[in-house]
């Protein structure tokens, strides 16, 4: 059995033991009669922390197993516009934002976080025939007043981040804060294509964007523009005409 399968089997076994222990606790008469969720929860926690039935059997050591399982839970998101992750997350890799040319048909609409060093597999070097082109991205923020203004034409970067002990990622447009019980990973500016060019998926670019040093030469490629709200079907107020939209990335 390979190591991965063995680890998975162990996890399933551990979960099964926790489940059985919880069932033992829930079978106690006091717990069955109780409608107080705190009482039930305390029984389960006692099981997990080894406090049930003589401090150990059959559940001794489950606290460590439980915490180990919790540490293995994670969720992944891309932090657009930065080389690093927030303190709450580990860096998986960093790279360059890539995608289709702003004014060319046939490109993918979903920007990619391209690794710094690619790996090719028996690649043929050719532009003949039918091929899709993938470019690097530039910030198009000449008229922007914040940190973005000094990044105009800068080559855009990204980081893929793994948030520990979290299981969900949510990007909310037009918000700077997360719902209750969610953790804010970063906030930023909603960016996408210009109304004059081919469409692309919106991305939430960090409010303090980084770029490749010395990259402000205008070489185009995938272009990242601020996105504004337009009144009509979108109600104003509370939305405001032509305001650049914020965004926030949350985990839970
Ligand atoms: Ca550039």
Banded model confidence at residue 2, pLDDT cuts 50, 70, 90:
very low
Distance 242 CA to ligand 1 centre (A): 26
Check pLDDT > 50 for residue 54: no
Residue 90's pLDDT is 96
225 domain-assigned: yes
Q: Are residues 52 and 140 in the same domain?
A: no
Q: Please identify which residue in the block is written with the tokens 């890799």.
A: 93
- Please state the rounded mean pLDDT for residues 174-180: 98
Selected residue with higher pLDDT from 173 and 8: 173
- What percent of the chain is modeled with pLDDT above 70? 75
What span, in angstroms and rounded, lies between the C-alpha atoms of 160 and 13?
31
Selected residue with higher pLDDT from 142 and 51: 142
Helix (H) or strand (E) holding 79: strand 74-80
Check pLDDT > 60 for residue 175: yes
What span, in angstroms and rounded, lies between the C-alpha atoms of 88 and 179?
17
- Please state the rounded mean pLDDT for residues 208-225: 95
76 touches 162 (CB < 8 A): yes
Ordered alpha helix ranges (H), the chain: 3-27, 29-33, 37-48, 53-56, 62-72
185 touches 89 (CB < 8 A): yes
Distance 214 CA to ligand 1 centre (A): 8
Distance 97 CA to ligand 1 centre (A): 12
* Residue ranges near ligand 1 (ion) with Cβ within 5 Å: 138, 153, 155, 215, 217, 219
> Rounded to the nearest 10 degrees, what angle do helices 62-72 and 3-27 cross at?
120
Q: Are residues 48 and 168 in the same domain?
A: no
Q: Are residues 110 and 65 in the same domain?
A: no
Check pLDDT > 70 for residue 34: no
Q: Are residues 148 and 243 in the same domain?
A: yes
Q: Please identify which residue in the block is written with the tokens 């010395």.
A: 214
Check pLDDT > 90 for residue 139: yes
How many contiguous H segments (helices) and E segments (strands) does the chain have?
Answer: 5, 10
Could you count the other beta carbons within 10 Å of the beta carbon of residue 190?
Answer: 23
Distance 126 CA to ligand 1 centre (A): 24
Residue 113's pLDDT is 98
Q: Are residues 138 and 179 in the same domain?
A: yes
Distance 131 CA to ligand 1 centre (A): 24
Check pLDDT > 50 for residue 3: no
Q: Are residues 67 and 81 in the same domain?
A: no
Distance 219 CA to ligand 1 centre (A): 5
Residue 30's pLDDT is 54
123 domain-assigned: no
Q: CA angle at residue 169 from 18 to 81, to 5 degrees? A: 140
Q: Are residues 57 and 78 in the same domain?
A: no
Q: Are residues 53 and 81 in the same domain?
A: no
Q: Select from 199, 3, 219 the least CA-distant residue to 100.
A: 199
Kindly report, residue by residue over 81-101, the tens digit of the pLDDT: 999 999 989 999 999 999 999
Both structure tokens of 185: 């990973």
Strand partners, 75: 163
Domain holding 91, by residue range, is 74-117+132-251
Q: Are residues 66 and 93 in the same domain?
A: no
Banded model confidence at residue 234, pLDDT cuts 50, 70, 90:
very high
Q: Are residues 55 and 98 in the same domain?
A: no
12 domain-assigned: yes
Selected residue with higher pLDDT from 144 and 216: 216
Q: Are residues 156 and 212 in the same domain?
A: yes
124 domain-assigned: no
3-class secondary structure, 172? strand
What span, in angstroms and rounded, lies between the C-alpha atoms of 83 and 158?
5
Strands 157-164 and 222-226: unpaired
Q: Are residues 161 and 182 in the same domain?
A: yes
- Please state the rounded mean pLDDT for residues 191-203: 95
Residue 7's pLDDT is 56
3-class secondary structure, 194? coil
Selected residue with higher pLDDT from 145 and 33: 145
102 domain-assigned: yes
Selected residue with higher pLDDT from 63 and 53: 63
Q: Please identify which residue in the block is written with the tokens 């990044």.
A: 151
197 domain-assigned: yes
Could you count the other beta carbons within 10 Å of the beta carbon of residue 217?
Answer: 9
Q: Cα dist. 204→18, 79, 80, 172, 188 in Å? A: 39, 8, 6, 9, 6
Distance 123 CA to ligand 1 centre (A): 27
Selected residue with higher pLDDT from 10 and 188: 188
100 domain-assigned: yes
Residue 1's pLDDT is 39
246 domain-assigned: yes
Distance 140 CA to ligand 1 centre (A): 10
- Please state the rounded mean pLDDT for residues 26-43: 59
Domain count of the fold of the chain: 2
When mean pLDDT is compared over 13-17, 56-60, 121-125, the highest value belongs to: 121-125
The b/e string for 61-73 (b: 16+ C-beta within 10 A; e otherwise) is: ebeebbeeeeeee
Distance 66 CA to ligand 1 centre (A): 48
Residue 171's pLDDT is 98
């Amino acid at each position: 059995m390979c190591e991965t399968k063995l680890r998975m089997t162990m996890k399933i076994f551990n979960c099964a033991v926790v489940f059985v222990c919880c069932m033992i606790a829930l079978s106690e008469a006091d717990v069955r009669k109780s409608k107080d969720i705190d009482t039930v929860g305390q029984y389960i926690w006692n099981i997990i922390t080894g406090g049930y039935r003589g401090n150990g059997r059959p559940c001794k050591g489950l606290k460590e197993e439980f915490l180990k399982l919790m540490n293995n839970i994670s969720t992944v998101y891309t932090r657009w516009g930065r080389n690093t992750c927030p303190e709450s997350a580990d860096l998986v890799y960093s790279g360059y934002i890539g995608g289709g040319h702003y004014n060319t048909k046939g490109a993918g609409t979903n920007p990619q976080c391209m690794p710094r060093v690619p790996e090719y597999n028996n690649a043929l070097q050719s532009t003949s025939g039918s091929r899709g082109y993938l470019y690097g991205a530039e910030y198009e923020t000449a008229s922007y007043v914040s940190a973005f203004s000094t990044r105009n034409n800068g080559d855009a970067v990204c980081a893929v981040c793994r948030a520990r002990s979290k299981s969900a990622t949510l990007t909310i447009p037009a918000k700077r804060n997360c719902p209750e019980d969610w953790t804010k990973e970063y906030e930023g500016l909603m960016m996408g294509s210009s109304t004059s060019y081919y469409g692309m998926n919106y991305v939430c670019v960090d409010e303090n964007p980084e770029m490749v040093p010395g990259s402000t030469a205008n070489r185009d490629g995938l272009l990242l523009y601020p996105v504004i709200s337009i009144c009509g079907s979108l109600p104003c107020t509370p939305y405001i005409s032509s305001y650049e939209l914020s965004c926030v990335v949350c985990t839970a």
